[in-house]
Structure 1
């Protein structure tokens, strides 16, 4: 199996959401449906000295995230009908629409809440745009849409070798299910900070 995955460079991502918008359009989604989310992290503060002059330690950075095509996907483990499966050739996690009953246990099980219920009442998710490729090879629209090239896609082993200083987790995005994602860390990532848009990305749980 050649496991595919993403590299996300949070040091250059501007949070413009072109990746998210291109994914939204390509998959004909409707608000509030989304297959890709842009997480905003921030921290620091403004302080005043004795003379009343202000200085800032505030910082903000962004992380674009979609389904991690995890090594140990909670959606697959908890799907009551076995509709969620991990492809043996690409490592892609996908949903069999003929078996899915739309219970959304997959979404509730996923630490990132990525499976989404569409108008047909069934669960849908990122399939790395493999469904439009002539030979079924993944070719994600989000990567092509990023204006600053903060996203890369390919065999995860190659991405990890190319970015040896990358991290498997960032902020509230844990690596508990083994997502095939490498994060290039923002210079302020080590300062901590908190997720600033939990409602937008559905992380209020």
Structure 2
């Protein structure tokens, strides 16, 4: 995946779409105060400058699906592992809730279910039947909408063709009004995400840890900085 910080407006449409697609319960204010809210994707907000010249920076944060994921080797029951598609997956019925994976996660993108999931009566019929509802006592995190990946593979197989760039669209990518999120196959040199991963603006968060994150961020372009350099 590629995330263009220059396009992200912090609208949080991706957050809402993810909650709906993946059967994530509604977070109440107390959950945030107790640091027990569940958000597979969240918007990190940073402020730069001094008043009145203040700029907001927005960075979507989700599971990085690392090649060398630090959360995987610490799980005693192999509930989280790397599959042959490059995804860091979570097997819910294996998880025993040790939370070792969360403690070994530098990005704080793994979440423990402290309570049984609850939805208002009016929203129960909106649950996605393709996604398991996680019970109390287990971990969960972003899956890159693996259910959509599986559905796409089945559909293109019936059509007698291969999956091409743009066929698989996670909920967060589909909902982004500015196309700040791009999903695809990093191993496909012709894919859009592969091209963005080679951009001069690309960087990976906490790359110095050597975990090989699969999400590439594109630096925000500051027109003022460009102007200042031009006049320097």
TM-score, normalised to structure 1, is 0.76
Structure number having the greater helix percentage: 2
1:174 corresponds to: 206
CA contact (8 A) 1:70 1:180 kept: yes
State the secondary structure of the residue aligned to 1:103.
Answer: coil
Does the 8 A contact of 1:160 with 1:166 survive in 2?
A: no
Q: Work out the CA distance in 1 between the residues paired with 2:21 and 2:3.
A: 20
Unaligned runs of 5+ in 2: 28-36, 117-134, 155-162, 226-232
Summarize the alignment of residues 52-67 of structure 1 with structure 2, pairs less than 5 Å apart: 56=53, 58-67=54-63
Q: Which residue of 2 aligns with 1:154?
A: 184
Q: Which residue of 2 aligns with 1:76?
A: 72
Any stretches of 5+ residues in structure 1 without a counterpart?
1-5, 47-54, 192-205
Deviation at 1:84, TM superposition (A): 1.0
The alpha-carbon deviation at position 149 of structure 1 amounts to: 0.8
Q: Which has the higher contact order (CA 8 A, sep 6+)?
A: 1
Structure 2 residue aligned with 1:140, among 139, 162, 170? Answer: 170
1:107-162 Cα shifts (integer Å, max 9, x gaps):
11111111212331211111111224423785311000001111100012442424
- Kept in 2, the 8 Å contact 1:19–1:142? The answer is yes
Q: Which runs of 4+ in 1 moved over 4 A?
A: none
Shift of 1:14: 0.3
What is the SS of the residue equivalent to 2:47? strand
Pick closer, same or farther for the CA change 1:79–1:143 going to 2, 3 Å. Answer: same
The answer to whether the aligner puts 1:126 opposite 2:110 as a matched pair is no
Task: Indicate the structure (1 or 2) with the bigger Cα radius of gyration.
Answer: 2
Secondary structure of the equivalent of 1:59? strand
User: What is the alpha-carbon root mean square deviation over aligned residues?
Assistant: 2.0
Please, what TM-score do these two structures have when normalized by structure 2? 0.67
